[in-house]
């Protein structure tokens, strides 16, 4: 659930990261977004607040209806003033940016290079930290109004070592802030020709299959919930008999067959991007695959991942960004991210 606040002219989302007092090697975090009317520090049971995170646009322009006026792109490099506030364990944070569902490289400092994710290590608790996203939009043309999503990844630096920890728990959970971007000028997308791109995907196919009772049972849901909810699932060929595997051992001479499944709210369109180590991975020049959800079926993106050039420890996940959420003004249509999975070679 998103919590919106306009204090000090900030559009802010908050997330509280909770840790069970009985710690486990899996780092079994519980993520909770408390209602604004409740005191988020009054947690019942044996749970302890480990950190809090909020972020949003700085000094946004608001119309008479209380809605944020679109950002304006007038050519050159767009600069978006932003603010982040974090405490406790939530002070290691990264950001993904999407324009119309497409991964957007950006800078956070004039001297830094364009990256798809920059990691921030915040030193002080509960202090507003200014941040500026700088980029030339990767898509769009004069006259367009496109969605822009700025999505945080909680503790992106974390990766299991298998010996002490074998899963991500609730690390890498997301928190999204959405606005829109109006184009007064065409962007020059050639500025991204030198950005590092990793071509790990082969034999990509996108298709639909009927929903099965087995899938519904796995997600603990029924057809009624699918009218307004969205579910994602990753099947990886060689995970053996482990259901919902959180780590998978790979060999240099093999490839992984991956099926990403998304289903639920009919007529919502998503752009789905596969990430390895927080970078989009490509099939030739294509890194994003579009799906449209429909009654009684699930959309599937099936790929082979070439693993020979992967590192010894790799984080894998899929991000799905809605591109027609405005068609459903009375509903909350959110970005979806699959739980991170560790792909590792011999220890």
Instruction: Report CA dihedral (343, 245, 222, 18) to the nearest 10 degrees.
Output: -90
Q: Are residues 302 and 269 in the same domain?
A: yes
Residues 187 and 205 in one domain: no
For the stretch 266-322, pLDDT in tens is 999 999 999 999 999 987 767 899 999 999 999 999 999 988 889 999 999 999 999
In a domain, 38, yes or no: yes
Provide mean pLDDT across the span 327-344: 94
Residues 98 and 244 grouped into a single domain = no
Asked if residue 142 lies in contact with residue 97, where contact means CB atoms within 8 angstroms, the answer is no
Q: Read off the pLDDT band of 222 (50, 70, 90).
A: low
Are 168 and 242 within one domain? no
Boundaries of domain holding 17: 7-192
In this prediction, residue 39 carries a pLDDT of: 32
Residue 187 CB neighbour total at 10 angstroms? 23
Of 169, 192, 215, the position where a domain reaches its end is 192
pLDDT band at 55 (very low <50, low <70, confident <90, very high): very high
Structural domain includes residue 1: no
As a whole number of angstroms, the distance between CA 198 and CA 191 comes to 18
Q: What distance in Å separates the CA atoms of residue 27 and residue 50, rounded to the nearest whole number?
A: 12
**Chain centre to alpha carbon of residue 124:** 25
What band does 254 get if pLDDT is binned at 50, 70 and 90?
Answer: confident
Q: Are 58 and 87 in the same domain?
A: yes
- Per-residue model confidence (pLDDT) at position 225: 79
Which pLDDT score is estimated for 110?
77
Give mean pLDDT, residues 167-182.
Answer: 93
Residue 279 in any domain: the answer is yes
How many domains does the chain contain in total?
2
**Is residue 194's pLDDT more than 70?**
no
Assess whether 79 and 163 both reside in one domain: yes
DSSP state of 340: P
The pLDDT assigned to 239 comes to 55
167 and 297 within one domain: no
Q: What is the pLDDT, as a whole number, of residue 83?
A: 95
Mean pLDDT of 159-178: 91
Mean pLDDT of 57-77: 93
pLDDT at residue 86 is higher than 90: yes
Tell me how crowded residue 77 is: count the other CB atoms within 10 A of its CB. 15
In a domain, 317, yes or no: yes
* CATH code for position 20: 2.60.40.2550
Q: Which of 192, 225, 254 is the last residue of a domain?
A: 192
- Predicted local confidence at residue 216, as pLDDT: 80
Closest CA relative to residue 140, chosen from 132, 148, 128: 148
C-alpha separations of 212 from 188, 220, 223, 303 in Å: 45, 12, 10, 21
Residue 276's pLDDT is: 95
| Per-residue confidence (pLDDT) for residue 183, from 0 to 100 | 98
Confidence of residue 238 (pLDDT cuts 50, 70, 90): low
Same domain, 205 and 136: no
285 and 302, same domain (yes or no): yes
Binned at pLDDT 50, 70 and 90, residue 192 comes out as: low
Domain-ending residue, one of 168, 192, 216: 192
The pLDDT score that the predictor gives to residue 159 is: 94
Question: Does residue 18 or residue 347 have the better pLDDT?
Answer: 347
Instruction: Please state the pTM of the whole predicted model.
Output: 0.85
pLDDT of residue 258: 94
Say if 282 falls within a structural domain: yes
Q: Tokens at residue 309, please? A: 């050039």
What pLDDT, on the 0 to 100 scale, is given for residue 221?
67
Whether 150 maps to a domain, the answer reads yes
Residue 169 lies in a domain: yes
Whether residue 254 sits in one domain with residue 130: no
234 and 98 fall within a common domain: no
Whether 2 is in a domain gets the answer no
Helices (H), 27-135: none
Distance CA 255, CA 200 (A): 10
Given a cut of 50, is residue 244 above it in pLDDT?
A: yes
pLDDT band, very low/low/confident/very high, at 241 (cuts 50, 70, 90): very low
- In this structure, are 217 and 257 located in the same domain? yes
């Amino acid at each position: 659930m998103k919590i919106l606040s306009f204090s000090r002219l900030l559009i802010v989302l908050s997330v509280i990261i909770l840790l069970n007092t009985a710690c486990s090697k899996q780092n079994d975090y519980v993520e909770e977004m408390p209602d604004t009317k409740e005191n988020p520090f009054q947690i019942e049971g044996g749970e302890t607040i480990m950190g809090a995170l909020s972020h949003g646009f700085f000094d946004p322009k608001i119309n008479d209806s209380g809605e944020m006026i679109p950002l304006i792109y007038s050519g050159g490099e767009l600069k978006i003033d932003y603010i982040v506030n974090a405490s406790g364990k939530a002070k290691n944070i990264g950001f993904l940016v999407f324009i119309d569902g497409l991964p957007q490289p950006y800078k956070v400092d004039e001297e830094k290079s364009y990256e798809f994710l920059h990691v921030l290590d915040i030193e002080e608790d509960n202090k507003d930290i200014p941040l500026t996203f700088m980029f030339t939009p990767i898509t769009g043309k004069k006259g367009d109004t496109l969605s822009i999503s700025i999505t945080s990844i909680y503790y992106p630096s974390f990766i299991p070592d298998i010996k002490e920890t074998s899963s991500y728990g609730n690390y890498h959970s997301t928190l999204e802030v959405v606005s829109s971007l109006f184009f007064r000028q065409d962007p020059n997308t050639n500025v991204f020709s030198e950005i590092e791109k990793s071509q790990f995907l082969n034999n990509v196919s996108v298709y639909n299959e009927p929903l099965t009772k087995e899938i519904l049972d796995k997600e603990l849901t029924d057809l009624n919930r699918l009218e307004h909810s969205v579910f994602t699932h990753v099947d990886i060929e060689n995970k053996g008999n482990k259901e919902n595997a959180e780590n998978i051992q790979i060999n240099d001479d093999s490839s992984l067959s991956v099926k990403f499944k998304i289903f639920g709210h009919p007529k919502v369109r998503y752009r789905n991007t596969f990430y390895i180590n927080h970078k989009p991975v490509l099939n030739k020049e294509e890194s994003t695959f579009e799906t449209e959800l429909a009654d009684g079926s699930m959309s599937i993106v099936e790929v082979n991942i070439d693993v020979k050039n992967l590192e010894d420890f790799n984080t894998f996940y899929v991000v799905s960004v809605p591109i027609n959420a405005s068609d459903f003004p009375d509903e909350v249509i959110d970005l979806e991210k699959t739980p991170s999975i560790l792909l590792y070679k011999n220890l």
